[in-house]
Amino acid sequence: MKKTINIGILGCGSIFRLMHLPALLKQKDKYNIAAAYDPDPQAVLLTKEAAGKNSRINFTHTAAEIIKDPAIDAVAILTRTSVHVKYAVEALKHGKYVFLEKPAAVLPSGVKKIIAAEKKYKRFCQVGMVLRYSSFYKELKRIISAGKYGKVLWMNWLETRPFDPYIWRYLTPDTDGDAIIHDKAVHQINLFNAFSGSKPAEAAAFGGQYLINPKSYSKVRAFSREVMLKGRSNDNMMAIINYRNGVKASITVSYVSPHARESRWIIQLEKAKIVAHFETFVKRAKGSKQKWSGNPSSIYLFKDNRNYDVPWKYPMSYPPCDDNLVFYDEYKDEPMHPGSGAQWREFYETVVKHRKPESSTTIALEDIVVAKAIDDSIKRKRIIKIL
């Protein structure tokens, strides 16, 4: 078994520099970043600074140099979505294992091309659904899968946040995906599909633009500053997914709020309710024993134990008290995003043991099928059946 993997990087944007690069550098016993490519000279310069003076990364002039290099074992495709399928198929063709940032593609047909290439060239592609590798996801899955509180009845996810200040995500949704649907909600679609216990049957959605002007630049609030954006992507969206077993899942996501991000899940089981806060940006509850430093994720479980009267008992303060706290994690060892280190440990096993990853292209295909149904529902103004 090969001890260290030579990996090539396609795309040196901020996500690579802030999340993937620190995770890879922490796993030097597993990865050697042999080469990197980005057409933007500024991205290359910033990557050199982030990697440090002792970095031996070879920056190439083309993506093909990395894809065709026989000394490179695996390729990480961290580019804009429009070239995901092209690069992934080429890398698989040249015997490389592939780490592919989400979304795998804008359309299901694109994901199917990657799956066909995996089978033909006998290599695997792992999709970067980082949340799926977090302890937050694993704890939710453990509670639901145990069956102690019955089956899932319905699920809801709400996220409000400032704009993500990357203009390409808004300009060309046909080729790069919709900023709200493919770049953000695809995470939640992925987990809804995992928790529902069934296949999706139909989707209905409404979306639009409250602040973005599709034809001229609008000044909007981003995370750290105001930016000028335009494009055809949605800046708000509400969707409902109906699964074949009767489970319902709803999504509300909006980029128009200038306030700290709120990302909250409610999962209603037959005998309990889960209230989960992903990366909380608020102060801890009064009397909490947790430090609540950083941006912790938390999961609260409210059992239907018949110890309280039914009317008007809503244990939904934000955040609730520690009595119902079943999970708390500050993710101090995870660069930028929960699961960012664990997904690279999984990819290492994928490469050295030729093992299909949990976040496979098969799962990615199911996610993109739902994403397309939501996108189609907004555009066609009707319910979309999912075959």
Residue 176 lies in a domain: yes
Whether residue 140 sits in one domain with residue 243: yes
99, two tokens: 């780490």
Residue 186 lies in a domain: yes
55, two tokens: 């970095």
Residues 6 or more apart whose CB falls under 8 angstroms from that of 118 comprise: 92, 124, 125, 361
Whether residue 149 sits in one domain with residue 37: no
With beta carbons less than 8 A apart as the criterion, state whether 77 and 84 touch: yes
φ, ψ (nearest 5 deg) of residue 300:
-115, 140
Residue 35 lies in a domain: yes
Mind listing the pLDDT tens digit of every residue in the chain (387 residues)? 578 999 999 999 999 999 999 999 999 999 999 999 999 999 999 999 999 876 889 999 999 999 999 999 999 999 999 999 999 999 999 999 999 999 999 999 999 999 999 999 999 999 999 999 999 999 999 999 999 999 999 999 999 999 988 888 899 999 999 999 999 999 999 999 999 999 999 999 999 999 999 999 999 988 878 999 999 999 999 999 999 999 999 999 999 987 777 889 999 999 999 999 887 766 677 778 887 777 788 999 988 766 656 555 555 555 667 888 899 988 887 878 889 999 999 999 999 999 999 999 999 999 999 999 999 999 999 999 998
Cα-based torsion angle of the residue sequence 262, 257, 240, 172 in order, rounded to the nearest 10 degrees: -120
Whether residue 101 sits in one domain with residue 63: yes
Please tell me what DSSP assigns to residue 222.
Answer: B
Whether residue 247 sits in one domain with residue 187: yes
Task: Specify the 3-state DSSP secondary structure of 208.
Answer: strand
φ, ψ (nearest 5 deg) of residue 34:
-80, -35
**Which DSSP string corresponds to 289-354?**
-S---SS-EEEEEEE--S-S-STT-----SSPPGGGEEEEE--TTSSSSTTTTHHHHHHHHHHHHT
Whether residue 301 sits in one domain with residue 272: yes
Whether residue 11 sits in one domain with residue 151: no
Question: What is the rounded CA–CA span in Å between residue 252 and residue 257?
Answer: 13
Residue 386 lies in a domain: no
Question: What is the rounded CA–CA span in Å between residue 153 and residue 82?
Answer: 36
Residue 384 lies in a domain: no
Say how many domains are in the chain.
2
Residue 153 lies in a domain: yes
CA 226 to chain centre: 24
CATH number of the domain at 271, please. 3.30.360.10
Whether residue 241 sits in one domain with residue 348: no
Question: What is the rounded CA–CA span in Å between residue 235 and residue 246?
Answer: 29
Question: What is the rounded CA–CA span in Å between residue 213 and residue 196?
Answer: 36
Roughly what angle, to the nearest 10 degrees, separates helices 108-121 and 361-380? 160
Whether residue 143 sits in one domain with residue 70: no
Residue 322 lies in a domain: yes
Whether residue 145 sits in one domain with residue 111: no
Whether residue 142 sits in one domain with residue 207: yes
CATH number of the domain at 48, please. 3.40.50.720
Its domain, for residue 122, covers: 5-131+338-360
Whether residue 19 sits in one domain with residue 148: no
Residue 11 lies in a domain: yes
Whether residue 139 sits in one domain with residue 125: no
